[in-house]
Amino acid sequence: MQIRRPLQCAPLLTAVVLAACSTDPSGSGSQCVVTAVTVTGAPATLQEGATAQLAATLTSQDCATAPSVSWSSNPSANASVSASGLVTGLSAGGVTVTATAGGISGSANIQITPAPVAVVAITPDSLVLGVGTGPRATAEARDAGDNVLSGRTVTWTSLDPAIATVAQTGVVTGVSVGDSARIVATVETVADTMYVHVIEPRLAFAWNNNQATAGTSTPSGSYAYNSAAGTLEFNRSGTGTYSFVYGGLNSDPGWWTETVFT
């Protein structure tokens, strides 16, 4: 008598089905394989702050669905790239953008170029000083989006060196008394101008003894003008009220201040 055992075939059949599924993600009987990745849409140059959308074209076999793509940039300091392939220029220099899928990569090279200067601003925009070394001016460059452009070279020039000069550090020096000496800061082809007035300090210093407290000594003291710092330095002895005037009420260009101390 022959005895049949149909139940022993079930485990064997199950193992065959699972093996077929493990090597057939597409259902076609073959493994999904990426053979090439091509990056498209990359410009030859890209300005700092600008963006470009890149795409990855895959050459593959037996893939029912498109494999996922990852993006990277090197060096990342020059440009960043999002998960969707959007590249943003960060700093001038070359960058390689790479797309990877299924262990296969493709790349494109982009040259990041400096953003053009749209405006230059000098601080301060005007200056009053005496003959001698004065303060340091600064210049800032910005692009069309009002972003500060750091690292740009500033060239300083005096158009009226007989009145005032300027060093390449931005330090202004009064040469002789005069109005509206033009100091220019240029970044690439964009410039800004500040105006410098050089005056001869006229100091009037007087004690106001009428305000002295009865029974106290008459106030006295000494003073000196610091042209580099633009300050009046003084020493006082005694008590009372005193005042000083810088420039004088009738001086030219008429800039004056008066301060009273008690």
- pLDDT of res. 80: 97
Domain interval for residue 106: 37-59+68-114
Model confidence band, residue 51 (pLDDT cutoffs 50, 70, 90): very high
Average pLDDT in the chain: 76
pTM higher than 0.85: no
Give the number of domains in the chain: 3
Q: Write b or e for each residue in 204-230: b if 16 or more Cβ atoms lie within 10 A of its Cβ, otherwise e.
A: eeebeeeebeeeeeebeeeeebebeee
- Looking at the DSSP bridge assignments, the partners of residue 178 are 198
pLDDT, tens digit, 9 for 90 and up, residues 195-214: 999 987 655 444 443 333 33
Q: Closest Cα to residue 60, out of 104, 27, 24?
A: 104
In a domain, 8, yes or no: no
Assess whether 178 and 141 both reside in one domain.
Answer: yes
Assess whether 140 and 208 both reside in one domain.
Answer: no
CB distance 139 to 154 below 8 Å: yes
What is the rounded average pLDDT of the residues 78-92? 96
In a domain, 20, yes or no: no
What is the rounded average pLDDT of the residues 123-129? 92
Assess whether 101 and 162 both reside in one domain.
Answer: no
Residue 171 C-beta-side C-alpha neighbours within 13 Å: 8
CA distance 251 to 229: 20
- pLDDT of res. 201: 64
Assess whether 173 and 217 both reside in one domain.
Answer: no
Residue 233 pLDDT > 80:
no
Assess whether 214 and 187 both reside in one domain.
Answer: no
CB distance 156 to 166 below 8 Å: yes
Q: Which segment of 20-34, 79-93, 117-131, 153-167 scores lowest on mean pLDDT?
A: 20-34
Q: Which residue has the tokens 């300090």?
A: 201
In a domain, 98, yes or no: yes
Assess whether 242 and 177 both reside in one domain.
Answer: no
- pLDDT of res. 208: 41
Per-range mean pLDDT, top range of 60-64, 75-79, 241-245, 251-255:
75-79
In a domain, 46, yes or no: yes
Between these two residues, 226 and 90, which has the higher pLDDT value? 90
Assess whether 194 and 233 both reside in one domain.
Answer: no
CA distance 181 to 188: 22
Give the residue from 174, 198, 222 where a domain finishes: 198
- pLDDT of res. 184: 98
Q: Closest Cα to residue 73, out of 103, 42, 34, 115?
A: 42
